[in-house]
Amino acid sequence: MREIVFDTETTGVNPASGDRMVEIGCIELVNRVETGRHFHAYFNPERSMPSEAEAVHGLSAIFLSDKPRFHEKAEELLLFIGDSPLVAHNAGFDFSFLNAELERCGRDPVCLSRMICTLVMARGKHPGAKHSLDALCSRFGVDRSQRVKHGALLDAQLLSQVYVELTGGRQIGLGLVADAGVRADSAAATAGDPARRPVRPPRPHAASVEELQKHAQFVAGLTEPLWQRFGSSAGVSVH
């Protein structure tokens, strides 16, 4: 199963009042394992950057002034996300900005049925606890030492690890789920036919002559071992 974990940075909190998306980062997961493929882009919002927003993500209007407009990268972004489910933290926020930008350039919005919200998942699993991305990273032992400011790609990478933990843990990444079906099919195929079962040669476990000699030398060097003291008092001979 392919899923896309993504995060956005913006000029504010309300796309309806003119706030714009200025960064998006997407991480590809297949069967809850990162594939190494990602999409990342900065956008020129064609407006000023409020100081409050810049303090969060560190993206100034000057830095963004030579970046592409959203419509220039929309096709590339849509090709990357395809029709996969989209995972985000407080996903309603990110979806609102993504769809506002798509609508602005005449594209169809992303259907909300594709939305997976890790904030909702975390609240369901750990009611009453803190559910920020930082708090979840601490809870699950995800290294966030590089997260000085918010950044869409870094936050998507952190969230992908948190999402794996929320959906079953890192053992998924070991391929246990994928391999289980193969092992089950193999077991079913051989269970009724002993001739088809693999023959494994016995593995030797006896100590070698050299190992027995070293052990005897070690025991001979012990001073008043406990088994001699208590064994003799109980009339038991220990060898």
Write the pLDDT tens digit of every residue in 161-172: 999 999 987 654
Give the pLDDT of residue 89.
97
Residue 76 annotated as part of some ligand binding site: no
- Name the helix (H) or strand (E) containing 37: strand 33-42
Mean pLDDT for the chain overall:
85
Residue 54 annotated as part of some ligand binding site: no
- Name the helix (H) or strand (E) containing 9: strand 2-10
Residue 9 annotated as part of some ligand binding site: yes
Residue 38 annotated as part of some ligand binding site: no
Domains of the chain, first to last: 2-179 (3.30.420.10)
For residue 207, pLDDT over 80 is answered with: no
Concatenated DSSP letters for 139-201? HHT---TT-SS--HHHHHHHHHHHHHHHTT-GGGGGTHHHHHHHHHHHHHHHHT-GGGSPP-P
Residue 36's pLDDT band (boundaries 50, 70, 90)?
A: very high
- 205 catalytically annotated: no
Residue 150's pLDDT band (boundaries 50, 70, 90)?
A: confident
Residue 193 annotated as part of some ligand binding site: no
- Catalytic-labelled residue, pool 40, 89, 150, 205: 150
Q: How far apart are CA 222 and CA 218, in angstroms?
A: 7
For residue 183, pLDDT over 60 is answered with: no
- Supply the pTM of this predicted model: 0.70
> In this structure, what DSSP letter does residue 222 have?
-
Mean pLDDT of 114-131: 95
